[in-house]
Amino acid sequence: MAFNYTLASARDALKKREISAVELVDAHLSAIERLDDRLNSFITRTPDQARQAAKQADEQLAKGEGGALCGIPLGIKDLFATENVRTTAASRILDNFIPPYESTVTANLKQAGAISLGKLNLDEFAMGSTNLTSAFGGVENPWKRKGSDARLVPGGSSGGSAAAVAAGLVLGATGTDTGGSIRQPASFCGITGVKPTYGRCSRFGTIAFASSLDQAGPMAQTVRDCAIMLEAMAGFDPKDSTSVNKDVPHYEAALDRGVKGLKVGIPKEYRIDNLPSEIAALWDNGIVWLKDAGAEIVDVSLPHTKYGLPTYYIAALAEASSNLARYDGVRYGERVSGKSLDELYEATRSAGFGDEVKRRILLGTHVLSSGYYDAYYLRAQKVRTLLRRDFLQAYEKVDVLLTPTAPSGAFAWDEKPTDPVQVYLNDVFTVPASLAGVPAMSVPAGLDSQGVPLGLQLIGRHFDEETLLAAGFVLEQAASFTHRPTLHAGVSA
């Protein structure tokens, strides 16, 4: 028997007993065996645990029991601590770290019945936009350009999650988004990704990059799939001081709301210089699709947008410098001995961290240092307040914003700019929402001239993921994105 399910359709088929969880899990494990040696989307595979969990899921389903995700095979970004399963953050410094505890997000997914097939690759410590900074090798995007076999980047940092979903190796995956690390790879790989409001999903047990920005979210084939996952992932957690105690809505039910009567804002500052014409055209298509569905299109201004990237890279790197100070070779993680404590620190960090992580630690330490704190970090925090105010003022006029997700489609591994700043520019459309803490999502909406996916981004009000998902569902239906990558499992059992 052969099948090609979305998460939602697999859920329904499992409940009707049209397929078993064991069949579904085995089919996806076989797909991983066939394709992932090339894609390298997994760091750690857990087939034995997955098969055992599938048997238990079938027992529950036979009794008419089980949670919303019972029997659904997922992948977990290797930034989430998983009890008794290696968690590396794609860094040599955590090469053999096996947590004795579970992150809240993965615990919530387990409670809902989801089955993990393993830990997914990422940019080291979630620092990157290409998934080429991983200590375990880069991830290949399953998409190909027309007439070319060049390896494309999947985006980052959640590139392993995006590639695994796009290739059909899992039905959904967890990601984390600090400045676009769910949305940009979702766009590059032709899938849907949601960054919830900051505080909607617990950060407990998620290895920190920038604590005031990091937020977990779902990555899946469709908007409906993401809505189902997000409802399971979200919720108040007293173990996370930034978790917000708000009820979690029934997100899937919100999909049928439509956009009739909604006001959709088009921020003029996102029409940047040198925006590729095909991305501008896709954006215009998105505007027409929402208007035809009954939305009112309103031009808005987010005047401090141009300060988003520098503000983000000051604030995020400063927090990274502080968060990564714990990796010193003393308490846990890899250790390289030295003749003194200073030498132990230096040798451990030199061997354990990759070049991009070292660069960000050094820059973050610099902006926090005496004499530079006021000039850089404090000023960045003030500008961040202005950026947040821009969004709040815009939402006095509109309900949701529509923009491109990224300034390009996926590029080849060997086209990676040597200047790190050029790589950072991939986040130009995604970092403002992160700095403001508002929810945002990327929906696949078309292909560029080379046959590579392009996404459109929707940005919503704080804790109004329901409107965001409803608008995303309308976009998805209008775009009718049914393309599949060259490297796709075509899961069968």
Taking a C-beta distance cutoff of 8 angstroms, is the pair 443, 472 a contact? yes
Bridge partner residues of 401 (DSSP)? 265, 459
Bridge partner residues of 264 (DSSP)? 297, 400
Active site residue 157: yes
Q: Which residue has the tokens 């052969």?
A: 2
Name the helix (H) or strand (E) containing 238.
Answer: none
What is the chain's Cα-based Rg? 21
Helical H runs in 324-439? 341-352, 355-368, 379-394, 420-424, 431-436
Residue among 466, 405, 100, 135 nearest 279 (CA): 405
Q: Which of 157, 161, 202, 434 is catalytic?
A: 157
Cα atoms in the 13 Å half-sphere on the side-chain side of 18: 11
Active site residue 181: yes
DSSP 280: H
Q: Which of 41, 103, 134, 181 is catalytic?
A: 181
Amino acid at 441: M
Q: How far apart are the first and last CA of the chain?
A: 5
DSSP 162: H
Residues composing the chain: 493
Residue 167 makes CB contacts below 8 A (sequence gap 6+) with 31, 35, 39, 41, 142, 485, 487, 488, 489
Handedness of CA 64, 67, 68, 72 (dihedral sign): negative
Taking a C-beta distance cutoff of 8 angstroms, is the pair 338, 347 a contact? yes
Taking a C-beta distance cutoff of 8 angstroms, is the pair 317, 427 a contact? no
Other C-beta atoms within 10 Å of 182: how many? 34
Taking a C-beta distance cutoff of 8 angstroms, is the pair 398, 263 a contact? yes
Bridge partner residues of 216 (DSSP)? 176
- CA 328 – CA 88 distance, rounded (Å): 15
- CA 297 – CA 287 distance, rounded (Å): 7
Taking a C-beta distance cutoff of 8 angstroms, is the pair 403, 391 a contact? no
Torsion over CA of 295, 299, 301 and 307, rounded to 10 degrees?
A: 80
Annotated catalytic residues are 77, 157, 181
